Structure 1
Amino acid sequence: MKLLHYLRLSAFDVSTEDGRAAERYRLAAWAVLANVASKGAAMAVMVLSVSLTIPYLGAQRFGIWMTIASFAGMLSFLGLGVGNALTNHVASRSAKSDAALLRRAISGGLGLLLLIGLVVGAGLWLLAAWLPWAKLIKVDDALLLLEAQSAAKLFALLFGLNLFTTGIQSVFAGLQRSFEVYLVSALGSLVSLVALWFAAQEQAGLPVLLATTLGTQSLSILLLLGLLVKRKLFALGEINLAVRQETSGLIRIGGLFFVLQVGTMIGWGADALIISSALGPAAVAVYSIAQRLFQFVTQPLAMMNAPLWGAYADAHSKGDVAFIRRTLRVSMLLTLGVALSGATILFFSSEWLLHYWTGGKVLVPTLLLGLVALWTVLECCGVAFAMFLNGVQVVKQQVIVVSIFCIFVLPLKIWGVSSAGLIAIPLVTMSVYALTHIYFYGFVFYPKIKSFMTIQN
């Protein structure tokens, strides 16, 4: 795609298929550009969260922080899939050019997520107070266990808020205005960066560090709620009626996304907990460092591919098959090339990078880095393909694939970590992922997938 051609302020004429395609690319191009700023700031937070805190936290406390922070991904399914369903729902309503219908969809969806967030936040707080932390994170220090529990209680409240703010992001994705989300996220990350620096200077504990990262970034998204109100896309006075009218549809659509998120939790989100339970929090620190290194590949590609979900959904709603086919081909090829090049460069420069980054406090085995590099390439391609599947609403098939993936990957990870150590996590994930996804999408579900690129819907 000619990026500069689409970086214009005025909209394209959407009365023709070519014009609609150009407008989708224009919005996606601005989203990519804004995402560069957002992810750049987020990556700075990620880098400094290691270099600023490991010297005084040590590997064990840092590992506990990373374990608790990983719960955000692991527990995302508690949103019942409503956030993901909201993206497609808003895109579909937006295509009908009915302002009242669109406002009802947004108000109802966000109202439902607010209720879910309140219930989930309270429930997780009670769970954090009750859980046997000594068994979960394999630590004997009573003070450290108390600190971990305090951080987990704060996480529970922040996670409840995060479910709601994630819904706001989904609304903007459905409206193909993700660039506004990314600009606000960049601002939040910059504030987080400053707060993290001050917290590290005071050698702050885990709850404060959690507040400066997850808390600051979640709160910043609330600014976007004001934009929705200003544009008359969210009405607080209509929220009760809208929730009643939209809940059944969103739960029905979100049910499949819910299963996908549960699968994600089982397949990927539980990694830190599996490692911590079997090998201790210090091992989590090692694995987290390896993962975070290769986020320099995954995050930029996420910038490129994330806006395409809304674009695919809009094209699917309007039957623009040529756009779907062309965009999928370009995104997959570009993702493969960038991921392969980036992972290779990071792997061969990892020794120097990690020594500078951690100050020699954490040593990561070369074999582990190599396996994570390979998994990074596969993961990036999978995410690019998932944007297409989500946008054209091929969700049932994803549920089947993810369910089969989880049936095999979880027991193999638990057994593998106990037998082979950390290398089992990327090795098992990569092997099972490749076998299940290539077989089902390449053969079993290929006719269904092909239909979205050959038949006018």
Structure 2
Amino acid sequence: MPDPHSALGTVAPEGPPDSGTRVPVAEPPAGAGRSRRLAAGVLTAGLARGAGLLAPVLLIPICLSRLGAERYGLWMAVLALTGMAAFADLGLGAGLMTKLAPCYASGDTARARGYVSTAYAVLTAVAVVLCALLWSLAWLVPWTSLFNVAGAVDPAETRAVVLICLTSFLVNIPLALVVRVQYAYQQVGESNLWQGAGALATVPLVLLVAWLGLPAVAVVAAASAGPLLANLTNSVWVYGRRMPGLRPGIGAVDRRLGAALLRLGGMFFLVTVLTGLSTNMDNLIITHTLGPQSVTAYAVPARLALLLGALVTMLNLPLWSANGDALARGDLSWIRRTVRRMVVLSLLATVPPAIGLVVAGDRLFAVWLPVPLDGNRWLLGGLALWFLLIGSFSALMMVQNAAGVVRPQMVGLIAYVAVAAVAKWHAVEAYGIAAIPFVGTAVYALTVLPAGLYGYRRTLARYDSPHPASPSVGHAVEQGSAATGVRQERRSRP
């Protein structure tokens, strides 16, 4: 676990936490120090979150045996719906992390607390309103028809699964903001430990439910509870002991900062919507073309392959805040050097398990799962290729996210969703589920990848300046980002 004082220095305010005064903060690490913190974050991510990501995969045999193929397929389809509804945070989580990076670089804790408090206020209100609407209208929606499980799963049970998954998702919207705050303040390792603990907490909860012989919906509830408990406990620790100077409060809510945050968040909102659609459309396409049992045949290997994509994302996500700090200081050479290294590291970390998935995945499923799968190696190979392609270039996206340069990603994702949705639907009908990842890989390489490369070069070009960064650069970057989400001052003022 990182040194409690290494990231913020004397972060605890000399006066009351709610005084709104500027808190003395030690100079954040730069250059080699930033690289050491990034390496520590990547290492802890691989150890802590890697173990946490394995938890849901290890529980697949228990969940399949307790739920059956139809109910498990329903559950995966509902989770796909929550993934597509990730836009419910309005992009504020991503926008908050981008806004906090210059605050961290300049030591402006008062402004940072304003952003944190405003984000919590908005997202708490959103979660409350959406939960009220969900529970008020849930009995009017034909869920069994929506998920194509009529006759296979009881309507009341279907509604219960939907309510459990969606309510957990909505409650976690404001709770998950603590992760963004920790990443922005380069406490990546500590955040990863908490997230890994939340995932691992689901294992004893699900085992207890299965041992007690509780209904199938209880298994879904137990699997949903772990991350909520982890984020709640983490929030108490961070704002109570770790960083009390950033503790959210009503008095710190700032409309001006909120407007800037919403402008930038709106761009991330659109990207999140498109990303959720692009990564979660597969289960819904399959359930409507081939039925829920085919969703299980696809979702189980896809969930195992998802570990590859999650691993690469986990390795590269610390770059977001580190790049924000480097941009605020004008350290573009560090960004270029680190991006190249992270692309290579991402490939080295994912190619061996991808090969193992293709070579031995079918035998693993046959021994491990109570419900037989067809063990299609074309499907496994396509899934491995898909997540390798996405992950290999995520380092470039982190540079754009740190600068608030969102439009290139948005254009690429719009083209991907429009083309892939139609292509995958026809491919499933013609060639089966094994065609989905290959179609996705081809369309992604033709749409999102070129847009991402353009956005990366455009970001560095905008921040490139012949003058060295002045002490006010961080504040200038933050103000420019607030105005447009993409603009950077190209020269220092005299």
State yes or no: 1:133 paired with 2:143.
yes
CA shift in 2, pair 1:284/1:382, >3 Å: farther
User: In the TM superposition, what whole-angstrom CA distance separates every residue of 1:198-227 from its partner, at most 9, and x where no partner exists?
Assistant: 122234444322222222212211122222
Q: Which has the higher helix share?
A: 1
Alignment match, 1:28: 38
Q: Distance in 2 between matches of 1:424 and 1:126?
A: 39
Kept after mapping to 1: 8 A contact 2:53/2:196:
no
Q: CA deviation at 1:13?
A: 13
> Per the alignment, do residues 74 and 38 of structure 1 end up closer, same or farther by CA in structure 2, a change over 3 Å counting?
farther
1:211 paired to 2:260: no
In 2, Cα distance between equivalents of 1:10 and 1:107: 22
In the superposition, the TM-score normalised over structure 2's length comes to: 0.83
Offset at residue 33 of structure 1 (A): 3.2
| Alignment of 1:315 onto 2:326 | yes
CA distance in 2, matches of 1:10, 1:140: 56
Shift of 1:331: 0.5
CA distance in 1, matches of 2:269, 2:30: 31
Question: Is 1:96 the counterpart of 2:115 in the alignment?
Answer: no
Give the stretch that moved more between structures: 353-362 or 171-180.
353-362
Counterpart in the other structure of 1:3: none
Rounded to whole Å, the distance in 2 between the matches of 1:18 and 1:325 is 20
Please list every run of 5 or more consecutive structure 1 residues that lacks an aligned counterpart in the other structure.
1-5
Judge which range, 211-220 or 323-332, deviates more.
Answer: 211-220
Name which of structure 1's ranges 109-118 and 408-417 shifts more when overlaid on structure 2: 408-417
Match of 2:282 among 271, 276, 287: 271
- Check the 8 A contact 2:195/2:231 in 1, yes or no: yes
* Secondary structure in structure 1 of the residue aligned to 2:375: coil
1:171-320 alignment to 2 at 5 Å?
Answer: 171-226=181-236, 227-230=238-241, 231-235=243-247, 238-239=249-250, 241-320=252-331
Q: Partner amino acid for 2:51?
A: A
**2:376 alignment partner in structure 1:** 365
Match of 1:412 in 2: 423
Contact 1:408–1:432 (8 Å) recurs in 2: yes
Match of 1:41 in 2: 51
Distance 1:66 1:44 in 2: 17
C-alpha offsets along residues 84-126 of structure 1, whole Å, 9 cap, x if unaligned? 1010111122222122222112111122221122222223334
Match of 2:116 among 106, 111, 116: 106
Deviation at 1:269, TM superposition (A): 1.9
How far residue 70 of structure 1 moved from its aligned partner, in angstroms, is: 2.3
Q: Which amino acid in 2 is paired with 1:63?
A: G
Deviation, 1:385, is 2.5
TM-score of the superposed pair, with normalisation by structure 1? 0.90
The CA distance in 1 between the partners of 2:369 and 2:96, in whole Å, is 40
Q: Alignment partner for residue 356 of structure 1, among 363, 367, 372? A: 367
Rounded to whole Å, the distance in 2 between the matches of 1:288 and 1:437 is 24
Which residues in structure 2 correspond to 1:323-338 (within 5 Å)?
323-338=334-349
Query: Closer, same or farther in 2 for the Cα pair 1:286/1:232, shift >3 Å?
Result: same
Deviation at 1:332, TM superposition (A): 0.9
- Return the offset for 1:410: 1.6
Q: Which amino acid aligns with 2:45?
A: N
- Aligned to 1:54, the other structure's residue is in SS state helix
| Secondary structure of residue in 1 paired with 2:313 | helix
Distance 1:77 1:413 in 2: 23
Q: 1:21 and 1:250, CA in 2 relative to 1: closer, same or farther beyond 3 A?
A: same
Per the alignment, residue 375 of structure 1 pairs with: 386
Asked whether the 8 Å contact 2:84–2:276 carries over to 1, the reply is yes
Contact 1:266 1:410 in 2 (8 A): no
Give the deviation of 1:8 after TM superposition: 8.1
What do the CA deviations read for 1:182-241 (whole angstroms, capped 9, x no partner)? 2222322232110011122234444322222222212211122222243323445x4255
Gapped regions of structure 2 (runs ≥ 5)? 10-24, 467-489
Whether 2:145 is the aligned partner of 1:122: answer: no
Check conservation: 2:53, 2:307, Cα contact below 8 A: yes
* Distance in 1 (alpha carbons) for counterparts of 2:28 and 2:205: 46
- 1:315 and 1:445, CA in 2 relative to 1: closer, same or farther beyond 3 A? closer
Asked whether the equivalents of residues 86 and 170 of structure 1 are also in contact (C-alpha less than 8 Å), the reply is yes
Residue 335 of structure 1 and its aligned partner are, at CA, apart by: 1.2
Corresponding pairs, count: 450
Task: Give the distance between the partners of 2:452 and 2:78, measured in 1 at CA.
Answer: 34
Select 1:61's aligned residue among 55, 61, 71. Answer: 71
3-state SS in 2 of match to 1:138: coil
Q: What CA distance in whole angstroms lies between the structure 2 residues aligned with 1:7 and 1:104?
A: 25
- Quick check: 345-354 or 209-218, which moved more? 209-218
- Partner AA of 1:211 in structure 2: A
Aligned residue for 2:196, secondary structure, equals helix
Structure 1 residue 405 displacement after superposition: 1.6
Q: 1:154 to 1:183 in 2, by over 3 A?
A: same
Deviation at 1:413, TM superposition (A): 2.1
CA distance in 1, matches of 2:179, 2:270: 20
Task: Work out the CA distance in 2 between the residues paired with 1:116 and 1:69.
Answer: 20
Give the structure 2 partner of residue 427 of structure 1: 438
Distance 2:75 2:361 in 1: 23
Q: Which moved more, 1:136-145 or 1:324-333?
A: 136-145
After TM superposition, give the deviation of residue 381 of structure 1 in Å: 1.2
Q: Given that residues 59 and 361 in structure 1 are in contact (C-alpha distance below 8 angstroms), is that contact kept between their aligned partners in structure 2?
A: no
The alignment partner of 2:253 has SS state of: helix
8 Å CA contact 1:117, 1:161 repeated in 2: yes
